[in-house]
Structure 1
Amino acid sequence: MYFHHCCKAKFIGALNEKLTVAQKKYIASTPFWWFAMLKQSLKISRNVLSQLCSKWVERRGGFDVGGKVVEFSLLDVCLGLGLRVVGEKIDLNEEVLESETWNTFGRQRVDVKLIYDFLMKFDDDVGDVELFCKLYVVLGISEFLLASKKSYVFPVIFKVVDDMENIGKYNWGTLVYEYLVFSLCSASLALQNEPSRFEFYVVGCAYLLDVFIDPRASVMSVEKDDGAQQSNMYDRMKARPRMRFKSVATKTPYSVYGKKKLKSMQIG
């Protein structure tokens, strides 16, 4: 039995090695300033994925650890990634009729590799800094936060970055949290109902699960250029010992995220 995650930083990490001063400055003004600190070598334990999926108690929104449910909440996403948990919600299934940023690719179906190839060939001397950074943010969101099995980009993300001045008004924390929780529910249900299944996939920002179990895995305990320490999940959790699981899986009912909702949130 193999568990796979889709959360990666391969492309965004490679781009980080070639960012210009102007591009770094633009990115630093967005809620995703920390994308520029991600490394290609970011690793997530598959053992953690398998244990957490088997221990997920979807009615309680947490994991069964030694008979007690340890909550995985929206606050963990907020503190772990510094994302807003208030603001306008984003509907990933919204039909996008027009997007200037998406037009860069002729409104075709776009995956993260297509964006990466485009940005690697980008002429920094004559190219538009704003366009580069818009696509950079789309890449980071799609590769790391809303990662999917086929690495496709939700069209609505293109629409959102069209107006970078207002990108901070959205409820990014809830979006990332719900997308990951949907995946945990789906994997947990599959474990119960498909015992002969060989492979399982966890979409979304699986990195948060690794940090949830072992705060030492955090890449978010960093300082910004002005020397100010960032408040994050690592600071809140570093006094908590690393969790260890028993191997017995906890079977839980499937009630919060029904099949219709799960199917509507899938892409690719």
Structure 2
Amino acid sequence: MNVNGLLDCHTHCMFSPDGNDDPVELVNKAVDLGLKALAVTDHCECNTWFEPEYYGIDSKSADEDDILMYNCKEYHNKSLEKMQELKQRHYDDGFEFIHGVELGQPLQAPEIAREITSDKSIDYIIGSLHNNSGEKDFYFLSFDRLSMNDIYSLLDDYYAQVLEMCQQAEFDILGHLTYPYRYICGKYGIQIDNSRYKDISAEIFRTLIAKGKGIEINTSSLFTHLASTMPGEELVRLYRDLGGEILSLGSDAHCAENVGQGIDIGAQLAKSCGFKYAAYFK
């Protein structure tokens, strides 16, 4: 892996419910790798902002996995002071630390999304959809128990809700488009007819381009059975062909060890699709 001079604009530390390490450890790893910039973008899941009990869930009897991502507000509040401290540190060789957030499901709790996006101390916001409205995170769904009609219905809703998010929500970069494929195709080995979603993907990209927003190449799924970035080459190339210019690279690391993982591959993919630079936000 040679990521010297590149950017990693999607990582998580201990201030994400599913993150592990102190953000200082992520920064140290990024500096050691020779990255130009690192964004720590901890989860701000708008639909699970409060404790489980707020949503009528008994955390003592509920499945631990089902409540993992709740109480994001407490994590976020703990992170704010630390992130500002890291922004004030001096880094050699022009290294940039970026305070970001991953804004999950902003249209499922718009008032929470507005609270987060109004904080001008935050440099950078990734807009993500981890679950359809009224459904669990795709991570928790047992796709082997669903019919293909049910799977396509979930994907139809996913793309429609991503488009609506791009039209209405405030963020800088669309996070990991094709996120459900990590599980449907990667974990369960179910093949999807991608041509079914080419038109709506193009509409998503046109919306982003018109609003001055971009997409990321998320490299975390390269190291799963999916063995492809999110989105993959076909959609990255479509975004470029439609005039897309704003592109970020993100490992989606949840620990210091994985910072920068696959970023070199993502950069090569971007270059092959006609991009000349990657973007970061201050």
Instruction: Tell whether the structures are fold-level matches, with TM greater than 0.5.
Output: no
Higher fraction of strand: 2
Q: TM-score, normalised by structure 2?
A: 0.25
Comparing both chains, which one has the higher relative contact order based on Cα–Cα distances under 8 Å and sequence gaps of 6 or more? 1
